[in-house]
């Protein structure tokens, strides 16, 4: 058994604090990773505070993990000691259902094992995430972090990156396509960067005029203030695809109106409370769709990391010591970060 240090909480209203946990010793197919960096995702806050009503305590969040391989099992073929490796939102799945066989483990029919707050088949209890100094994961769910990617900036790619990359790829963002991104937060800034790198014409929708310059720096061709009715109307019926990253309830009608025939509005933000019901007539007149997307499979996540290495993309981050994680949560709620917090795990002593 490996004695590990982590940062977690014991109740929805309790702050995150230092705690000791057990990690399993590496089995034949396992990879041990000493964690260097872990991004902070809005899902971490939702889970830690039980806003999705399914948290088991103690809870240690974190699913944007980058670190150094320090041990491998006897049957591991894809990793060696010293490699830079990543772990995203999943650490296992059934591997036998049709979804897993299609490399879509996030939709596993028997339920994917998520990096934290999922039943732990090895040690019992629940899985613990990346706000720790070490993690042990089956090789099949470990990602190769390409050389040249800044490890701190690469950490958020394991969730924010794949959450935006997967729907952009699935719905064909690229040259000749007009793509909207709603919100310029942790997810939205990656959506803008990736859609631009894919060759799409990118329009950012925001409620804040102050984000215009930054959005264009990140790759947006146009910026539209979503509260400006005339500016919104000017884009009516013109978008092939809109990626909605906002994690707060809001009306979807303003965006379905902007879709062209057969266009899709894809939701990746997960609010605590549901969105207002959309107007059906906006959909049936134009065969438009409202869809959702959940991260990506391991194969596609590796594809995303390789794409980011080829195009020189990482997240815009603010690095913090683990002792400031509670402060970071409060700042995240105020959108006071550009654009993703990343914990330097060397601060965990």
Q: In whole angstroms, give the CA distance from residue 151 to residue 211.
A: 26
Using one digit for the tens of pLDDT, what is the confidence trace for 177-213?
999 999 999 999 999 999 999 999 999 999 999 999 9
Q: In whole angstroms, give the CA distance from residue 265 to residue 41.
A: 22
Using one digit for the tens of pLDDT, what is the confidence trace for 21-56?
999 999 999 999 999 999 999 999 999 999 989 999
pLDDT surpassing 90 at residue 270:
no
Q: In whole angstroms, give the CA distance from residue 140 to residue 61.
A: 21
pLDDT surpassing 90 at residue 349:
no
State whether 253 and 324 are in the same domain.
no
State whether 86 and 135 are in the same domain.
yes
Using one digit for the tens of pLDDT, what is the confidence trace for 82-92?
999 999 999 99
State whether 132 and 165 are in the same domain.
no
State whether 228 and 288 are in the same domain.
yes
Q: In whole angstroms, give the CA distance from residue 12 to residue 57.
A: 8
pLDDT surpassing 80 at residue 94:
yes
Average pLDDT value for residue range 102-113: 98
Average pLDDT value for residue range 246-268: 96
How far is residue 193 from each of residues 80, 201, 311, measured CA to CA in Å?
Answer: 32, 11, 10
For residue 234, what is the domain's CATH number? 3.40.50.720
Average pLDDT value for residue range 243-250: 93
Of all residues in the chain, the percent with pLDDT exceeding 70 is: 100
Provide the pLDDT for residue 120: 97
- DSSP letters spanning 94-156: -S-SHHHHTT-GGG-TT--EESSSSB-TTTSSB---SSBSEEEEEGGG-EE--TTS-HHHHGG
Provide the pLDDT for residue 272: 76
Average pLDDT value for residue range 326-334: 95
* 26 backbone φψ class: left, alpha, beta (φ>0; ψ -120 to 50): beta
Average pLDDT value for residue range 51-74: 97
State whether 184 and 50 are in the same domain.
no
Range of the domain at 12: 2-157+316-347
Provide the pLDDT for residue 140: 98
Helix spans in 157-219 (H):
160-170, 186-197, 212-218
Provide the pLDDT for residue 271: 81
3-state SS assignment for residue 283: helix
* 281 backbone φψ class: left, alpha, beta (φ>0; ψ -120 to 50): alpha
State whether 274 and 216 are in the same domain.
yes
Average pLDDT value for residue range 156-171: 98
Residue 303 falls inside a structural domain: no
Residue 328 has phi, psi (to 5 degrees) of: -65, -40
Quote the number of domains for the chain. Answer: 2
Average pLDDT of every residue of the chain? 96
> What are the structure tokens assigned to 38, written together?
């872990």
Q: In whole angstroms, give the CA distance from residue 129 to residue 329.
A: 16
State whether 97 and 127 are in the same domain.
yes
H or E stretch at 326 = helix 325-333
State whether 192 and 61 are in the same domain.
no
**Local confidence band at 273 (pLDDT 50, 70, 90 cut-offs):** confident
Q: In whole angstroms, give the CA distance from residue 264 to residue 57.
A: 38
pLDDT surpassing 90 at residue 318:
yes
pLDDT surpassing 80 at residue 301:
yes
| Gap between the terminal Cα atoms of the chain | 19
How far is residue 173 from each of residues 38, 195, 309, measured CA to CA in Å?
Answer: 29, 6, 19
Residue pair 243/180 in contact (Cβ under 8 Å)? The answer is: yes
Q: In whole angstroms, give the CA distance from residue 39 to residue 198.
A: 24
Closest CA to 242 of 286, 209, 194, 290: 290
Beta strand pairing status for 239-244 and 259-267?
parallel
Task: Please enumerate in sequence order all residues whose Cβ is within 8 A of that of 281, keeping only pairs 6 or more positions apart, or say none.
Answer: none
How far is residue 60 from each of residues 1, 41, 65, 312, 346, measured CA to CA in Å?
Answer: 18, 13, 13, 31, 17
State whether 38 and 132 are in the same domain.
yes
Residue 298 falls inside a structural domain: no
Q: Is the pTM of this model over 0.85?
A: yes
For residue 12, what is the domain's CATH number? 3.90.180.10
Adjacent-strand bridge partners of 157: none
Provide the pLDDT for residue 266: 98
Closest CA to 140 of 109, 113, 111: 113
Provide the pLDDT for residue 207: 92
State whether 104 and 136 are in the same domain.
yes
State whether 140 and 168 are in the same domain.
no
> Residue 256: is the preceding peptide bond cis (ω within 30°)?
no
């Amino acid at each position: 058994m490996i004695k590990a240090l982590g940062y977690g909480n014991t109740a929805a209203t309790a702050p995150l604090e230092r705690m000791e946990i057990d990690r399993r010793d590496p089995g034949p197919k396992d990879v041990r990773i000493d964690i260097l960096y872990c991004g902070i995702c809005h899902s971490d806050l939702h889970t830690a505070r039980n806003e999705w009503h399914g948290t088991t305590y103690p809870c240690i969040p974190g699913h944007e993990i980058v670190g150094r391989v320090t041990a491998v099992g006897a049957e591991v073929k894809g990793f060696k000691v010293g490699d830079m490796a990543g772990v995203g939102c999943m650490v296992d799945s059934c591997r036998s259902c049709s979804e897993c066989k299609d490399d879509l483990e996030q939709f596993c029919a028997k339920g994917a094992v998520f990096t934290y707050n999922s039943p732990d088949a090895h040690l019992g209890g629940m899985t613990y995430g990346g706000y720790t100094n070490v993690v042990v994961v089956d090789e099949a769910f470990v990602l190769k972090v390409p050389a040249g990617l800044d490890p701190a900036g690469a950490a958020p790619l394991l969730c924010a990156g794949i959450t935006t990359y997967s729907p952009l790829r699935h719905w064909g963002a690229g040259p000749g396509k007009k793509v909207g991104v709603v919100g310029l937060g942790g997810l939205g800034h990656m959506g803008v960067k990736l859609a631009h790198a894919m060759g799409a014409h990118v329009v950012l929708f925001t409620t804040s005029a102050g984000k215009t310059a930054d959005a264009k720096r990140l790759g947006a061709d146009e910026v539209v203030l979503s509260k400006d009715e005339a500016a919104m109307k000017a884009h009516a019926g013109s978008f092939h695809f809109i990626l909605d990253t906002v994690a707060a309830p809001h009306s979807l009608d303003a965006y379905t109106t902007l879709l062209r025939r057969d266009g899709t509005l894809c939701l990746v933000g997960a609010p605590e409370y549901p969105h207002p019901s959309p107007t059906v007539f906006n959909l049936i007149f134009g065969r438009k769709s409202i869809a959702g997307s959940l991260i990506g499979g391991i194969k596609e996540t590796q594809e995303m990391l390789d794409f980011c290495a080829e195009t020189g993309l990482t997240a815009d981050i603010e690095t913090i010591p683990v002792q400031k994680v509670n402060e970071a949560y409060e700042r995240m709620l105020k959108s006071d970060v550009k654009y993703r917090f990343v914990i330097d795990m060397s601060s965990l002593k």
